[in-house]
């Protein structure tokens, strides 16, 4: 079975690229190993160790395509409906003091990404990636977009 693939990346400036594909256009901003991509399906944040194939990606927005499951929810976690249990102020304090180690992510219940941050901090290139990730988390906490591990908003 054959198919046609189309992808073109155009460099606009240092650290800023426009991506063109069959699915539409998107804009990427960042450095090698850490970037944010904004497109028609939402915002994708990617942090990784260059040359290793190890990376972490988070996506917010909506997905498109026939591969989506639609309304079928069996075996999936329920959407967040519980009350906020974690304090935004305490998370902000942890992020400012020990954010480069991912301690604020452990507190929020995001154990996998916290562990990735912790491991990246102790590698040479990883500490630069972790600093960018830490700054993005700090901005998300201040603007109220940082959620706990269950997807619940945090309380002030």
pLDDT tens-place string over residues 12-42: 888 888 888 887 888 888 888 888 888 877 7
Residue burial 95-113, b: 16+ Cβ < 10 Å; e: rest: beeebbbbbbbbbbebeeb
Phi, psi dihedral angles at 96 (to 5 degrees)? -70, -45
Does this model's pTM top 0.85?
no
């Amino acid at each position: 079975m054959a198919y046609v693939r189309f992808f073109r990346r155009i460099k606009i400036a240092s650290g800023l690229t426009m991506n063109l594909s069959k699915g539409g256009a998107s804009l990427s901003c960042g450095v090698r190993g850490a970037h944010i991509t904004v497109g028609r399906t939402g915002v994708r944040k990617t942090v990784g160790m260059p040359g290793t194939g190890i990376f972490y990606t988070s996506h917010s927005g909506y997905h498109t395509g026939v591969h989506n499951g639609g309304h079928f929810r069996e075996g999936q976690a329920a959407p967040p409906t519980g009350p906020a249990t974690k304090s935004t102020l305490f998370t902000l304090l942890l992020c400012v003091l020990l954010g480069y180690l991912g301690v604020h992510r452990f507190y929020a219940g995001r154990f996998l990404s916290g562990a990735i941050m912790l491991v990246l901090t102790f590698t040479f290139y990883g500490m630069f990636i972790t600093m960018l990730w830490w700054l993005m988390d700090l901005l998300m906490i201040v603007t109220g977009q940082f959620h706990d591990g269950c997807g619940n908003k945090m309380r002030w």
